[in-house]
């Protein structure tokens, strides 16, 4: 089920109504939420619900074993959990990738291996719920959280439907307290949640699907004819699409949770206003970047082993972060580019600091524009179907020719809307959207909701799956 | 709580008024609600082909999509559940292949196809929808589509032509009002064309231009390149027949220059007749049936919606005459199907 479907509208109204039925115990409310979460996930592909339940149940049991073992005996249980989770992810997400690359490697040494095609269907959200469950097991291993004794509560932590399929990736210590304290829909939560839900749907339906996707898609289609203006416009449109698609989903998720009385962490904070790549990763997909920091970068040694060690860890983290997004070398290249930018930024930090002091606010703006340029260049690798296509777009971008076709109205509108989006990010770069919404009065809130509803209803078109569902 | 309710009331009143005003404005200009075809709508019908007790599935392109009258089908052949899987502008072999691979499908397929439909470039034309059905269609999408059908049947603003973006683009480009469609679908994907509103000459002009471009004769596809797809299709037919279903390859009627061009492009004796002799499917060439051969076709290819019942009756008559369908009700039709001949010479 997706937030932008009519099915979800009906589903969510029923869930909110049932969750708030008078006289229900907190345990009964949690049962309702768990049943709703299973229905939400099962409505996409019922058999994969069993996979979700099975995978989460195994982690729950392993964590209990870990918690009951002496500290020096916990490691085997953690290894089982790592193997189980990463094995599951590897099979469903990277099976074809591994097979194709093994075949290519064997071909280099003269072995002709023709394995059968797997044709594996990727369970939606597997990367998200696997990482969420994995972080819980690692936290229990480290002794940072207490193991959850209730399987129902643990399944609700992993399967809570607002964040189940595309994040934010929630940490157990952020969610466990919410599982223990009875919650229900409050006036403040309803107002904030509905505001966020409508903003998220606006981003997804109006901006991502209606404005940006039709301009971005043709450029990245195999066999597309690409000129300079088209390459830039398509790339900028994709930058708008992926932000509005993914941030839209996260905003909907946070909004739905708020309407049920739950708090989920922010996942985006005006990322296109980032001044520098480290700043970008503090603003883009925050729940993943902090996950990678805490469970990969720091265990690798972080910045504790000297400059070269730190730079190596940065590169490794970003390479694996790229691979997390998809089983293709283009995603690894995207991660490598970001890693390289982080390395360069770290190496040239003294010079950057000096320039910032000299130029002040202008320096921040220049840094922001340079970062945006780098992020745009990197998106080409993220979206292109293969290296050749990405190279073709880059060549077109950086060799302006006289043969560029004039831009159509759709492309011009997409550029204007991206300009507006970028301006919003700069204006709100130090602001918290939730706080801003809480400060609105009833009339201005009503006006905002009305404008969003009208724009959403008047944007029927091709319904596109959320991009991050494939990750 | 007061703040939330006040904001909600303001939003609903303002948004409702604005949307109602936009709806009224388009309706005042003569636009009406229509069902918009989409992969979800097709998938709903594709699912029905699997779970129906005895489906009669119509495959093909626009000629079938806009020609079959569902009510006539239901009345004349009550044992069958009509399912429309034809797609505008796309040949149907990918869907036939999919039905053959579906162990739950045991129905009767009426596959509207001509010589070009068996050519290699036509093979995967319907594959995107087939892939969507298997990889993305879900119970949730089905429920969404059923709800969307109600919205599209009742609101003209559900059409993407009236979206904010399309309106902005039209304004930017100085374009006129959106296209007024003269063809439409019902919620089960049975289509209708109103030639009082349509341009009957456009298709004729397109064909004439194509013929002119190729010096009066469309370039033929060599028989040895064409035949492998026929052999593949025959394997799919046998798979369906092995489960108790059946397939009728049906060449629907054309007229005028189109009839001449199709005969010139894929001469019947060199293509269709050889396919008919080799396949275990039943074959029906409409030119062999007087009631179908002389059917009025305003653009030489499609049927006006007012003629659909008559055309569907003529097709049913041809099928009954050959003993390929039963007019019995659902509960006693098994025996009639069992009596069907295994293979028939085309056109007889």
Q: Is residue A78 part of a domain?
A: yes
Interface residues from chain B to A (CB-CB < 8 Å): 1-4, 6-12, 14-15, 18-19, 22, 36, 38, 40, 135-136, 138-141, 143-144, 147-148, 151, 157-160, 162-165, 168-169, 172-173
Q: How many CB atoms lie within 10 A of CB B242?
A: 10
When CB atoms are compared, the residue of B6, B148, B157 closest to A442 is B6
What lies within 8 Å, CB to CB, of B184 at 6+ separation is B34, B35, B191, B192
Whole-number Å distance between alpha carbons of B327 and A370: 74
B169 contacts on A by Cβ (under 8 Å): 409-410, 413
Question: Is A388 part of any domain?
Answer: yes
The three-state (H, E, C) secondary structure of B52-79, written as one string: CCCEEEEECCHHHHCCCCHHHHHHHCCC
CA distance A6 to chain B (A): 5
Pick B139's closest partner by Cβ from A43, A191, A457: A43
Phi, psi dihedrals of residue B190, rounded to the nearest 5°: -85, 125
Mean pLDDT of chain A: 89
Does A108 map to a domain? no
Asked whether residue A162 falls in the same domain as residue A220, the answer is no
| Residue at A23 is within a domain | yes
Work out the minimum CA distance from A118 to partner chain B, whole angstroms. 14
Least CB–CB distance from B168: residue in A413, A447, A454: A413
Q: What is the DSSP string of A235-300?
A: HHHHHHHHHHHHHHHHHHHHHHHHHTT-------S-GGG-SSHHHHHHHSSHHHHHHHIIIIITTT
Note which residues in 288-347 of chain A have CB less than 8 A from chain B. Answer: none
Inside any domain, residue A320: yes
Please name which of B200, B221, B218 lies closest in space to residue B209, comparing C-alpha atoms: B218
> CA separation (Å) from B49 to B109, B189, B295?
10, 13, 29
Residue B47 to residue B42: CA distance in whole angstroms: 9
Burial class of residue A289, CB neighbours in 10 A (0-12, 13-18, 19+): buried
Chain B residues lying within 8 Å of A457, measured CB to CB:
15, 19, 157
- Whether omega before A35 lies within 30 degrees of 0, making that bond cis, reads no
Asked whether the beta carbons of residue B172 and residue A211 sit closer than 8 angstroms, the reply is: no
- Report how many domains make up chain A: 2
Q: pLDDT tens per residue, chain A (471 residues)?
A: 888 889 999 999 999 999 999 999 999 999 999 999 999 999 888 888 999 999 999 999 999 999 888 878 888 899 999 999 889 888 888 888 888 888 888 888 888 877 777 667 778 788 889 999 999 999 999 889 999 999 999 999 999 999 988 778 999 999 998 999 999 999 999 999 999 999 999 999 999 999 999 999 999 887 778 888 889 999 999 999 999 999 999 999 999 999 999 999 999 999 999 999 999 999 999 999 999 999 999 998 888 888 888 888 899 999 999 988 888 899 999 999 999 999 999 888 888 888 888 888 888 889 899 999 999 999 999 999 888 899 999 988 888 765 667 888 999 999 999 999 999 999 988 888 888 888 889 999 999 999 999 999 999 876 555 555 555
pLDDT tens-digit series, residues A139-189: 999 889 999 999 999 999 999 999 988 778 999 999 998 999 999 999 999
- Contact assessment for residue B245 and residue B109, using Cβ atoms and an 8 Å cutoff: yes
Catalytic position from the list A325, A338, A389, A425: A325
Q: Kindly state the tokens that stand for B79.
A: 């044992």
Cβ of B147 within 8 Å of Cβ of A6? The answer is yes
- Alpha-carbon distance of A406 to A170, in angstroms, equals 46
DSSP codes joined into one string, B192-240: EE-TTTS-HHHHHHHHHHHHHHTTTSPPPPPHHHHHHHHHHHHHHHHHH
The closest of B253, B161, B255 to B203, measured between CA atoms, is B255
Q: Which residue of A has its CA nearest to B40?
A: A463
Best A454, A462, A464, A469 residue to mutate vs chain B (most B CBs within 10 Å): A454
Cβ distance B103 to B51 under 8 Å? no
Confidence at residue A382, expressed as pLDDT on a 0 to 100 scale: 92
Asked if B140's CB is within 8 angstroms of A409's CB, the reply is no
Residue B285 per-residue DSSP state: E
- Whether A245 and A98 map to the same domain: the answer is no
Cα A234 from Cα A228, distance rounded (Å)? 10
Residues spanned by the domain of A139:
6-103+119-184
CA–CA dist A244, A221 (Å, integer): 20
Compute the distance between CA of residue B60 and CA of residue A221 in angstroms, rounded to an integer.
28
Residue ending a domain, among A184, A203, A228, is A184
The number of residues making up chain B comes to 348
**Do A225 and A92 share a domain, yes or no?**
no
pLDDT at B78: 92
Which residues of chain A are within 8 Å of residue B147 when distances are taken between CB atoms?
6-7, 10
Number of H helices, E strands in chain B: 15, 7
Residue B153, Cβ neighbours under 10 Å: how many?
14
Please indicate, yes or no, whether residues A166 and A224 belong to a single structural domain of this protein.
no
What CA–CA distance (Å, rounded) separates A338 from A374? 8
Residues A292, A348 within the same domain: yes
Provide the shortest C-alpha distance from residue B111 to chain A (in Å): 28
Residues A301 and A421 in one domain: yes
A423: contact with B, CB 8 A cutoff: no
What does DSSP say about strands B191-193 and B282-285: parallel, antiparallel, or unpaired? unpaired
- Tokens coding A18: 């049932």
What is the spatial distance between Cα B54 and Cα B34, in angstroms, rounded to a whole number?
A: 29
Indicate the SS3 state at residue B50. Answer: helix
Helix B200-213 / helix B256-265 crossing angle, nearest 10 deg: 40
What integer pLDDT is reported at residue B342 of this predicted model?
Answer: 36
**DSSP helix/strand/coil, B321:** helix
Closest by CA position to A352, among listed A367, A340, A371: A367
Are A307 and A435 within one domain? yes
The Cα A380–Cα A398 span in angstroms is 13
Residues of A in contact with B36 (CB under 8 A): 460
The verdict on A85 and A134 lying in the same domain is yes
Separation of alpha carbons A169 and A267, rounded Å: 9
A371 and A286 part of one domain? yes
Q: Rounded to 5, what percent of chain A is helix, strand, coil?
A: 75, 0, 25
The Cα of B92 is separated from the nearest Cα of chain A by a number of Å equal to: 23
The reply to whether residue B164 touches residue A458, judged by beta carbons under 8 angstroms, is yes
Check residue A402 and give its pLDDT.
56
Q: What is the pLDDT along chain B (348 residues), one digit of tens a residue?
A: 788 899 999 999 999 999 999 999 999 998 989 898 999 999 999 999 999 989 999 999 999 999 999 999 999 999 999 999 999 989 999 999 999 999 999 999 999 998 888 988 888 999 999 999 998 898 889 999 999 999 999 999 998 889 999 899 999 998 888 888 888 899 999 999 888 887 777 777 877 787 777 777 777 888 888 899 999 999 999 999 999 999 999 999 998 888 888 888 888 988 999 999 999 999 999 999 988 988 888 888 889 999 999 999 999 999 999 999 888 776 544 444 433 433 333 222
What number is the ipTM of this complex?
Answer: 0.79
- Whether A469 and chain B come into contact, CB under 8 Å, resolves to no
Whether A334 and A378 have beta carbons less than 8 Å apart is answered as yes
Answer whether A205's CB lies under 8 Å from A381's CB.
no
**For residue A195, is it within any domain?**
no
Pairing, β B108-112 against β B246-251: parallel
Check: CB of residue B66 under 8 Å from CB of residue B305: yes
Give domain status of residue A110, yes or no. no
Rounded to a whole number of angstroms, the distance between the first and last alpha carbons of chain B is 77
| Domain annotation covers residue A112 | no
Q: CB B8 to CB A2 under 8 A?
A: no
Note the pLDDT of residue B66. 94
Report the pLDDT value the prediction gives residue B344, as an integer from 0 to 100.
30
Q: How many CB atoms lie within 10 A of CB B221?
A: 19
Determine whether A389 is an active site residue.
no
Is residue B3 within 8 Å of residue A187, measured between CB atoms?
yes
**Residue A457 contacts B where some CB pair is shorter than 8 Å:** yes
DSSP state of A210: I
Kindly list the distances between the CA atom of residue A36 and the CA atoms of A31, A63, B137, in Å, as whole numbers in the listed order. 8, 25, 20
A22 and A159, same structural domain?
Answer: yes
Mutation site, B3, B5, B6, B7, interface A, largest A CB count within 10 A? B7
Q: Among A168, A184, A200, give the residue marking a domain's end.
A: A184
Residue A414 and residue A308 share a domain:
yes
Whether A414 and A356 share a structural domain? yes
């Amino acid at each position: 089920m997706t937030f932008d479907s009519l099915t979800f509208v009906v589903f969510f109204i029923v869930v909110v109504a049932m969750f708030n039925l008078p006289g229900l115990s907190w345990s009964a409310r949690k049962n309702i939420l768990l049943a709703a979460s299973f229905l939400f996930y099962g409505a996409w592909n019922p058999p994969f619900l069993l996979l979700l339940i099975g995978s989460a149940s195994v982690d729950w049991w392993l964590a209990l074993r870990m918690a009951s073992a002496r500290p020096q005996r916990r490691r085997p249980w953690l290894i089982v959990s790592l193997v189980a989770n990463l094995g599951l992810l590897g099979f469903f997400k990277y099976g074809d990738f591994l097979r194709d690359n093994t075949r290519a490697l064997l071909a280099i040494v003269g072995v002709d291996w023709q394995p059968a095609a797997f044709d594996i269907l990727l369970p939606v959200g597997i990367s998200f719920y696997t990482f969420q469950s994995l972080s819980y097991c690692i936290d229990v291993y480290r002794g940072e959280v207490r193991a959850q004794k209730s399987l129902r509560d643990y399944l609700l932590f992993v399967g809570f439907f607002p964040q189940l399929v595309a994040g934010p990736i929630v940490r157990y210590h952020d969610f466990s307290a919410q599982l223990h304290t009875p919650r229900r829909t409050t006036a403040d939560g309803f107002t904030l949640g509905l505001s966020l839900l409508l903003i998220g749907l606006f981003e997804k339906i109006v901006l991502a699907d209606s404005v940006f996707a039709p301009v971005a898609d043709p450029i990245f289609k195999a066999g597309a004819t690409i000129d300079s203006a088209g390459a830039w416009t398509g790339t900028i449109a994709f930058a708008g699409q992926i932000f509005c698609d993914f941030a839209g989903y996260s905003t909907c998720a946070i909004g739905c949770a708020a309407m049920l009385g739950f708090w989920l962490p922010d996942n985006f904070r005006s990322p296109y206003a980032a001044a520098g790549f480290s700043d970008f990763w503090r603003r883009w997909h925050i729940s993943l970047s902090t996950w990678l920091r805490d469970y990969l970068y720091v265990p690798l040694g972080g910045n504790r082993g000297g400059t070269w060690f730190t730079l190596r860890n940065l590169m490794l983290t970003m390479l694996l972060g790229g691979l997390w997004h998809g089983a293709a070398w283009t995603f690894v290249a995207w991660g490598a580019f970001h890693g390289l930018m982080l390395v360069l930024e770290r190496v040239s930090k003294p010079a950057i600091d000096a320039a910032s002091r000299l130029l002040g606010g202008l320096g921040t703006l220049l840094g922001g524009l340079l970062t945006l340029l780098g992020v745009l260049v990197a998106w080409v690798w993220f979206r292109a179907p293969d290296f050749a296509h990405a190279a073709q777009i880059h060549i077109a971008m950086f060799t302006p020719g006289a043969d560029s076709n004039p831009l159509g109205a759709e492309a011009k509108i997409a550029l204007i809307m991206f300009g507006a989006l970028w301006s919003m990010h700069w204006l709100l770069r130090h602001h918290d959207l939730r706080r801003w919404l809480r400060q609105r009065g009833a009339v201005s809130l009503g006006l905002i909701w009305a404008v969003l509803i009208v724009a959403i209803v008047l944007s029927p078109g091709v319904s596109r799956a959320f991009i991050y569902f494939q990750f | 709580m007061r703040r939330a309710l006040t904001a909600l009331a303001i939003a609903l009143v303002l948004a409702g008024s604005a949307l109602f005003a936009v709806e009224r404005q388009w309706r005042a200009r003569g636009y009406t609600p229509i069902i918009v075809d989409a992969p979800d709508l097709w998938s709903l019908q594709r699912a029905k082909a699997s779970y129906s007790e005895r489906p009669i599935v119509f495959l093909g392109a626009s000629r079938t999509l806009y020609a079959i009258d569902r009510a006539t089908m239901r009345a004349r052949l009550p044992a069958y559940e009509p399912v429309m899987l034809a797609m505008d502008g796309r040949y149907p072999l990918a869907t036939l292949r999919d039905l053959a691979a579906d162990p739950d499908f045991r129905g009767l397929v009426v596959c509207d196809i001509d010589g070009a439909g068996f050519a290699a470039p036509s093979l995967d034309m319907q594959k995107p929808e087939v892939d969507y059905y298997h990889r993305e269609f879900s119970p949730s999408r089905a429920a969404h589509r059923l709800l969307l059908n109600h919205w599209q049947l009742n609101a003209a603003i559900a059409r993407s032509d009236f979206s904010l973006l399309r309106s902005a683009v039209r304004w930017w480009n100085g374009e006129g009002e959106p296209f007024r469609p003269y063809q439409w679908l019902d919620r089960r994907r049975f289509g209708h064309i109103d030639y009082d509103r349509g341009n009957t000459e456009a298709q004729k002009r397109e064909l004439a231009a194509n013929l002119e471009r190729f010096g009066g004769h469309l370039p033929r596809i060599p028989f040895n390149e064409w035949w492998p797809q026929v052999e593949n299709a025959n394997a799919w037919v046998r798979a369906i027949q092995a489960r108790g279903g059946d397939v009728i390859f049906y060449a629907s009627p054309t007229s005028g220059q189109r009839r001449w061009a199709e005969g010139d492009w894929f001469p019947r004796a060199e293509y269709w007749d050889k396919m008919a002799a080799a396949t275990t499917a039943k074959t029906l060439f409409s030119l062999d049936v007087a009631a179908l051969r002389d059917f009025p076709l305003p653009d030489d290819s499609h049927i006006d919606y007012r003629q659909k019942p008559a055309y569907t009756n003529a097709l049913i008559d041809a099928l009954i005459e050959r003993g390929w369908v039963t007019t019995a009700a659902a509960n006693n039709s098994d025996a009639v199907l069992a009596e069907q001949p295994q293979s028939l010479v085309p056109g007889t």
